């Protein structure tokens, strides 16, 4: 009997012995661990655990809503002659809300007698089906939101060219008014006139977020730096094509022999995902540190509900979370021409 | 929405573990609300209000959780705001295929008990007789429900909401306007 079959038998034995709670807890721990390892949003914005005590009642809903304080902009200090008194500025803060919503997988059902016949770990079933579904449900709306924030016209469908209409300067976000995307597929779609994935274009893309924005005569321009950069592994492999003169001989040799084992380039942390349906070939997303970006609030951690009735087993994973980008300047995107399938 | 006023109530049939329901997003430019009758646009897989004669093959749903708009589970992206929420949640519709009886504030006119009801393009139910259709400028209409209780007050929050009760009618009969 394989190890997996033994594990399955033990898992089923727990259920047979009526230890539903034990089986539920073991699988819940496994679920949470996998989500932490593989969920993209959870790496970009580590979840903040909240309870009803952290939430604020609203007039428009009886759902849990977290209200988050936000840094405000304020007029600049001015240099004045002696004898001048400062102008008054009444203080008022800014806040944003994070509405909680439930996420759950389908309710998976199976006759236990059939489960015992599998040669692989029953928990792999959870991982392969339920957990991946759950991760996708968390990540997809987040990346859609990121693209909407960056988009020139978020009212258009993402497949519409006007959604991300690139100009010489890049794509100007309808939400912030700032250029938050450089497109390196054509020289006239980024301010550097660069085409392709190169040391120059990657480094140039790192300036999108740090480029000051706002009227410097009114308030301090908004300047942020990317803290985490996300691209898929297909795009990431382009780093291995860079020459020793671009990235140095030791790094070039390391990637030539070991592949994409490095996660820091040009002083920035990179996260390479295999989810090329979510982060498409050629796309690079840049995120500021979580405290400058937003909140991913988690009110119910992913939890496995398991029920055992006679010979039928059923389970589903549920959680409750909300995510808001409080500072839309804290993200940017670059597009590189990568050969697509 | 400015308050927690309830504008739809399931007198019978929901909640129920075997209920047939659907969660989807509103179609482009579609403003959903609780109690509205809608169907899924097969090309976009999103909610569209009402059931026209051209949609006769589609299943009607009454919109429920998440249909309240701002402050509810669904957050349409709004670039004019200074923050943005990820679009978790969605708008739940309870299928007319279920055995349900519903109180809804989404109606036009004065439906009487036993009236055949159609769902207009505004998502509201109205009496479906040839003469009233003609008067309302509706070409043809699909019967989707039967009125089981005429307009009455439903206590909800600080006010009473005018609602009618209905049960689904899936006969898909088409009533023509010209009679």
- Per residue in B147-179, pLDDT (tens digit) is 999 999 987 766 788 999 999 999 989 999 875
Across A81-91, b (16+ Cβ under 10 Å) vs e yields eeeeeeeeeee
The span from the CA of A192 to the CA of A200, in Å, is 9
Residue A313 pLDDT: 83
Confidence of residue B17 (pLDDT cuts 50, 70, 90): confident
**Which residues on B lie below 8 Å from A157 (Cβ)?**
28
Residue A341 pLDDT: 43
pTM of the predicted protein model:
0.85
- Eight-class DSSP state of A76: P
The span from the CA of A242 to the CA of A262, in Å, is 13
Asked if A181 contacts A207 with a C-beta cutoff of 8 angstroms, the reply is: no
- Eight-class DSSP state of A262: -
Contact assignment for A97 to B85 by CB distance below 8 Å: yes
Average pLDDT over residues A15-27: 67
- Whether A60 maps to a domain, the answer reads yes
**Which residues on B lie below 8 Å from A326 (Cβ)?**
83
Please tell me which residue of chain A has the smallest CA distance to B73. Answer: A101
* Cβ within 8 Å of B, A 156-185: 157, 173-175
SS3 string of A111-155?
EHHHHCCCCCCHHHHHHHHHHHHHHHHHHHHHHHHHHHHHCCCCC
- Beta carbon pairs, A and B, within 8 Å: 91
The span from the CA of A162 to the CA of A152, in Å, is 7
| Residue A285 clears pLDDT 80, i.e. is over it | yes
For A162-178, what is each residue's pLDDT tens digit?
A: 999 989 899 999 999 99
Contact assignment for A144 to B87 by CB distance below 8 Å: yes
Least confident residue range of A114-128, A229-243, A252-266, A326-340: A114-128
Contact assignment for B88 to A148 by CB distance below 8 Å: no
The CA-to-CA distance between both ends of chain B, in Å, stands at 40
| Helix and strand totals (H; E) in chain B | 1, 14
The span from the CA of B50 to the CA of B107, in Å, is 11
| Residue A123 clears pLDDT 80, i.e. is over it | no
- Whether A90 maps to a domain, the answer reads no
Interface membership of A142 toward B (CB under 8 Å): yes
Residue B161 pLDDT: 87
Helix (H, G, I), strand (E, B) or coil at A337: coil
| Residue B72 clears pLDDT 60, i.e. is over it | no
Confidence of residue A59 (pLDDT cuts 50, 70, 90): confident
Identify the helix (H) or strand (E) that includes residue A228.
Answer: strand A228-232
- Whether A264 maps to a domain, the answer reads yes
Average pLDDT over residues A253-265: 88
Confidence of residue B90 (pLDDT cuts 50, 70, 90): confident
For B96-144, what is each residue's pLDDT tens digit?
A: 999 999 999 999 999 999 999 999 999 999 999 888 888 888 888 999 9
Contact assignment for B4 to A101 by CB distance below 8 Å: no
B69 versus A231: which is more confidently predicted? A231
B82 versus B156: which is more confidently predicted? B82
Of A101, A145, A327, the CB nearest to B77: A145
Asked if B92 contacts B64 with a C-beta cutoff of 8 angstroms, the reply is: yes
Chain B closest CA to A80's CA: distance in Å? 33
Q: Which two tokens stand for residue A305?
A: 């509900």
| Residue A128 clears pLDDT 70, i.e. is over it | no
Residue A262 pLDDT: 85
| Residue B6 clears pLDDT 60, i.e. is over it | yes
pLDDT > 90 in chain B, percent: 66
Indicate the average pLDDT of chain B: 89
For B37-59, what is each residue's pLDDT tens digit?
A: 999 999 999 999 999 999 999 99
The span from the CA of A120 to the CA of B70, in Å, is 46
The span from the CA of A63 to the CA of A269, in Å, is 36
Average pLDDT over residues B70-94: 83
Helix (H, G, I), strand (E, B) or coil at A246: helix
Asked if A65 contacts A158 with a C-beta cutoff of 8 angstroms, the reply is: no
Helix (H, G, I), strand (E, B) or coil at A231: strand
Interface membership of A94 toward B (CB under 8 Å): yes
- Whether A175 maps to a domain, the answer reads yes
Q: Roughly what angle, to the nearest 10 degrees, separates helices A20-38 and A132-150?
A: 30
The length of chain A in residues reads 341
- Whether A153 maps to a domain, the answer reads yes
Contact assignment for B71 to A323 by CB distance below 8 Å: no
- Whether A227 maps to a domain, the answer reads yes
> How many domains does chain A contain in total?
1
The span from the CA of A331 to the CA of B133, in Å, is 53
Residue A121 CB coordination number (10 Å): 18
Contact assignment for B71 to A60 by CB distance below 8 Å: yes
The span from the CA of A181 to the CA of A209, in Å, is 9
Confidence of residue A5 (pLDDT cuts 50, 70, 90): low
Closest CA to A283 of A238, A323, A246: A238
Average pLDDT over residues A246-252: 89
**Which residues on A lie below 8 Å from B89 (Cβ)?**
99, 101-102
Average pLDDT over residues A95-121: 83
Alpha carbon separation from A177 to A143, A181, A214, A285, B80 (Å, rounded): 20, 12, 9, 18, 11
- Whether A88 maps to a domain, the answer reads no
- Whether A84 maps to a domain, the answer reads no
What ipTM did this prediction achieve? 0.81
Indicate the average pLDDT of chain A: 86
Asked if A298 contacts A32 with a C-beta cutoff of 8 angstroms, the reply is: no
| Residue A224 clears pLDDT 50, i.e. is over it | yes
A117 versus A309: which is more confidently predicted? A309
Q: Which two tokens stand for residue A72?
A: 């405000």
Q: Which two tokens stand for residue B121?
A: 């393009």
Interface membership of A96 toward B (CB under 8 Å): yes
For chain B, the residues whose C-beta falls within 8 A of a C-beta of chain A are 1-4, 28, 68, 70-73, 75, 77, 79-89
Asked if A321 contacts A103 with a C-beta cutoff of 8 angstroms, the reply is: yes
**Which residues on A lie below 8 Å from B73 (Cβ)?**
63, 99, 101-102
Average pLDDT over residues A114-130: 68
SS3 string of B68-128?
CCCCCCCCCCCCCCCCEECCCCCEEEEECCCCCEEEECCECCCCCCCCEEEECCCCCEEEC
| Residue A38 clears pLDDT 50, i.e. is over it | yes
Which residues, including other chains, have CB under 8 Å from residue A70's CB and lie 6 or more apart? A93, A94, A95, A96, A326, A327, B82, B83
| Residue A34 clears pLDDT 90, i.e. is over it | no
In B1-60, where do the E strands start and end? 8-12, 21-24, 37-41, 46-49
Chain A closest CA to B60's CA: distance in Å? 23
Please tell me which residue of chain B has the smallest CA distance to A59. Answer: B3
Contact assignment for B84 to A328 by CB distance below 8 Å: yes
Which residue range(s) make up the domain with A313?
3-73+96-335
Residue B1 pLDDT: 47
């Amino acid at each position: 009997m394989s190890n997996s079959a033994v594990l399955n038998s033990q898992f089923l034995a727990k259920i047979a012995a009526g230890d539903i709670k034990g089986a539920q807890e073991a699988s819940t721990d496994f679920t949470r661990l996998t989500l932490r390892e593989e969920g993209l949003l959870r790496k970009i914005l580590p979840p903040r655990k909240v309870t009803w005590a952290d939430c604020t009642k609203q007039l428009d809903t009886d759902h849990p809503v977290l209200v988050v304080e936000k840094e405000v902009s304020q007029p600049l200090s001015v240099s004045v002659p002696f004898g001048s008194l400062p102008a008054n500025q009444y203080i008022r803060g800014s806040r944003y809300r994070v509405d909680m919503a439930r996420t759950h997988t389908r309710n998976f059902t199976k006759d236990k007698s059939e489960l015992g016949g599998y040669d692989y770990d029953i928990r792999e079933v959870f991982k392969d089906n339920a957990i991946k579904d759950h991760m996708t449900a968390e990540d997809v709306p987040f990346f859609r939101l990121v693209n909407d924030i960056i988009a020139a016209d978020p009212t258009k469908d993402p497949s519409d060219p006007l959604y991300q209409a690139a100009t010489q300067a890049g794509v100007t976000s309808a939400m912030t008014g700032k250029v938050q995307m450089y497109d390196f597929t054509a020289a006239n779609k980024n301010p550097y006139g660069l085409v392709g994935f190169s040391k120059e274009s990657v480094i140039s893309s790192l300036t999108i977020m740090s480029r000051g924005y706002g009227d410097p005569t009114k308030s301090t321009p908004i300047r942020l730096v990317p803290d985490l950069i996300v691209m898929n592994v297909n795009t990431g492999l382009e780093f291995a094509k860079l020459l020793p003169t671009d990235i140095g001989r030791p790094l070039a040799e390391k990637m030539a022999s070991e592949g994409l084992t490095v996660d820091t380039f040009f002083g920035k942390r990179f996260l390479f995902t295999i989810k090329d349906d979510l982060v498409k070939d050629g796309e690079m997303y840049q995120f500021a540190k979580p405290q400058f970006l937003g909140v991913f609030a988690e009110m119910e951690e992913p939890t496995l509900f398991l029920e055992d009735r006679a010979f039928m087993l059923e389970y589903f994973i549920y959680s409750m979370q909300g995510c808001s980008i409080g500072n839309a300047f804290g993200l940017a995107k670059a597009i590189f021409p990568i050969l697509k399938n | 929405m400015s308050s927690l006023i309830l504008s739809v109530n399931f007198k019978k049939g929901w909640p129920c573990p075997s209920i047939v329901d659907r969660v989807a997003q509103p179609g482009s430019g579609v403003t959903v609300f609780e109690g509205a009758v809608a169907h899924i646009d097969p090309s976009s897989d999103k909610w569209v209000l009402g059931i026209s004669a051209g949609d006769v093959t589609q299943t009607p749903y009454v919109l429920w959780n998440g249909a309240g708009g701002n402050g509810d589970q669904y957050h349409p992206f709004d670039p004019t705001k200074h923050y943005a929420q990820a679009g978790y949640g969605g708008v739940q519709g309870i299928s007319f295929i279920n055995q349900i009886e519903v109180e809804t504030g989404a109606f036009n006119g004065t439906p009487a008990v036993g009236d055949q009801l159609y769902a207009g393009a505004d998502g509201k139910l109205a009496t479906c007789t040839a003469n009233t259709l003609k008067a309302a400028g509706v070409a043809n209409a699909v019967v989707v429900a039967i009125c089981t209780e005429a307009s009455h007050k439903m206590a909800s929050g600080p006010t009473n909401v005018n609602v009618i009760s209905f049960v689904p009618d899936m006969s898909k009969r088409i009533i023509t306007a010209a009679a």
